[in-house]
Amino acid sequence: MRTEQIGDATASGAALPIELRAISKAFAGIKVVNNVSFDMRPGEVHALMGENGAGKSTLIKIMAGLYQPDEGQIIVNGAVVRFPSPKVAHAAGIATVHQELLLFPELTVAENIFLGQTPKTSLGTIDWTTMRRRARELLDELDSGDLDIDQKVLHLSVGNRQRIEIARALAQDARVLIMDEPTAALAEHDVQRLMSIVRSLRRRGVAIVYVSHRMPEIFALADRVTVLRDGHLVATRPISEVDEPGLVSMMVGRSIDRLYPPKQGTDGEVILELSGVSHRSVVRDIAFKLRRGEILGLAGLVGSGRTETALTIFGITPATQGQILIDGKPVSITSPEAARDLGIAYVPEDRASQGLIRPQTIEENIALANLKRLTRGVFVDAAKVAAEARNAISRFGIRARGPEQPVRQLSGGNQQKVVLGKWLATNPRILIMDEPTRGIDVGAKAEIHLLMRKLAGEGMAILMISSELPEVLGMSDRVLVMNGGRIVGEFDKEHATAEAVGTVMTRSYDKEQAA
């Protein structure tokens, strides 16, 4: 790592842990980061925000040594540096906790923490005693004494794996910790634990770059916020000087007055009814009705049975007891194909692995659920496929070069629109949406919500599952609450408050109550 001293950078005289000056980066001649300056102070949480495609990922990859800037300077502790690789960035005290956690499942907790930096004995062999002791000390510092340092990582939850990543950063003596969408896949209790860890790291003097779309976390944790839009720096502000509408406006370049648009029209007749539906011990005695034009919210903690109920309705895990009725008539749904033929569509919570084949093109993905209609004999009608994709791009406002663009090149919000386009091309009457806006930016969220309201206004019945309580309350005409595989509460729009729904979601139910 080549350095050139340029002097102190803070009012107190202490150099900044990292500073980016006038950074630019282009791919294929297109600037994705353009003249952006950004800095970190010791012991602060600095939120980095912007819509998907704003340049956030590129900027943090430059800090982490994955990309090298075309223009500008990186300054660490007052000296100009160059990071030709992540290894050099690590040596300078820069660590990253990626959204996709980079751990080895067959290794133990301790082995993952010290991977690449294992302590050695005088004979040059691994010092297992020291490694295990230091791993235990690091986890204790993170209030993670419940983790077994000898357990293989493959058996751990996402939240626990994330704590191992943070412990590994501390083992590297990281002075700057980049956290990329750290709560995107966490249950609520893991989110609260992570926020506690972030505050603890701040007290230790670690500078934290916090990338997230979740506004409550930003306002709870951040000291400053920097907003990017279309690769440009919009502003850097103390968090005390901004509010949520102002922050949204900076991110999207316009005011979003209605993140949760109002209901259009009135509900129609019952189209879907579940009566005593169970799937083994996971989904138990589910009963509810869903009407045309209604958005029915399904709330509950992770593991409450929400997704499992959706999988049963869609025939992935068929019902073992009870009845499913469509238009008042009992139906047998033993496969997704049967569900599709009955007019049911399912947008899964993990679009990357369950909803899309990301290396394939938009038109190939759109065609997946409609191959019967898009084939002539044994041959796919390429003209029909292309027309279907162009229609989806136009209808849903998918930002893409064209139908032949690979889906992996699209932002999260546009990928979600492709999943919607794929299933809505089947002309469903019932749409199940599991975590419809997970991992997408606030502008794309508003577009998805507006589309949901438009579909409901046209008479589609929508069952929406979401871990974001504001989304459940803002979008649902009626809310069902699940706990332990059962429906334990129902609220109409007027009475569905955060306090009421949250209380039922988190209440303990013993076996007698659940029986």
Shared domain for 292 and 400, answered yes or no, is yes
| DSSP output for 35-77 | EEEEEE-TT-EEEEE--TTSSHHHHHHHHTTSS--SEEEEEET
- Judge if 287 and 180 occupy the same domain: no
Q: State mean pLDDT over 119-142.
A: 90
| Cβ contact 286:487 at 8 Å | yes
Ramachandran angles phi, psi of 99, nearest 5°: -60, -40
Of 114-123, 338-347, 436-445, the range with the lowest mean pLDDT is 436-445
> Residue 6: pLDDT band by 50, 70, 90 thresholds?
very low
Q: Which residue has the higher pLDDT, 297 or 116?
A: 297
Residues 251-271: tens digit of each pLDDT = 877 665 567 888 888 899 999
- Look over the chain and give the mean of its residue pLDDT values, rounded to a whole number: 87
Q: Is residue 10 predicted with pLDDT exceeding 90? A: no
Whether residue 358 sits in one domain with residue 219: no
Q: What pLDDT does residue 326 have?
A: 97
State residue 35's pLDDT score.
96
> What residue has token string 């679009």?
351
Q: Are residues 232 and 118 part of one domain?
A: no
Residue 403 class from Cβ within 10 Å (0-12 exposed, 13-18 middle, 19+ buried)?
buried
| pLDDT for residue 13 is more than 60 | no
Q: At what angle do helices 412-424 and 442-457 cross, to 10 degrees?
A: 20
What is residue 168's predicted lDDT score, i.e. its pLDDT?
86
Place of tokens 């500078």: 207
Pairing type for strands 207-211 and 176-180 reads parallel
Mean predicted confidence (pLDDT) in 450-476:
92
- What was the pLDDT predicted at 507? 75
- Amino acid residing at 486: R
CATH of the domain at 247: 3.40.50.300
- 76 with 5, same domain: the answer is yes
- Verify that 235 and 186 share a domain, yes or no: yes
Domain shared by 180 and 168, yes or no: no
CA atoms within 13 A on the CB side of 342: 25
Q: How many domains does the chain have?
A: 3
* pLDDT of the residue at 48: 95
Please indicate, yes or no, whether residues 297 and 394 belong to a single structural domain of this protein. Answer: yes
For range 434-461, the mean pLDDT: 86
Please check whether residues 302 and 389 belong to one and the same domain: yes
Instruction: With both helix axes pointing from N to C terminus, report the angle between 128-141 and 158-171 in degrees, rounded to the nearest 10.
Output: 110
Same domain, 57 and 110: no
Region of residue 45 (phi > 0: left; psi between -120 and 50: alpha; otherwise: beta): beta
Are both 2 and 136 inside the same structural domain? no
261 located within any domain: no
- Residues 74 and 92: their CA atoms lie apart, in Å, by 11
Q: Which of 329-333, 369-373, 444-448 has the lowest mean pLDDT?
A: 369-373
Q: Is 0.75 topped by the overall pTM?
A: no
Same-domain check for residues 87 and 131: no
The whole-number pLDDT of residue 3 equals 44
Residue 145 is part of which domain span?
100-173
pLDDT band per the 50, 70, 90 thresholds, residue 441: confident
Residue 198 domain-assigned? no
What is the model's pLDDT at position 11?
Answer: 46
b/e burial code for range 161-187 (CB count within 10 A of at least 16 → b): bbbbbbbbbbbbebbbbbbbbbbbbbb
Domain presence at residue 7: yes
Residue indicated by tokens 């699209």: 410
- What is the pLDDT, as a whole number, of residue 514? 44
pLDDT-derived band at 424 (thresholds 50, 70, 90) equals confident
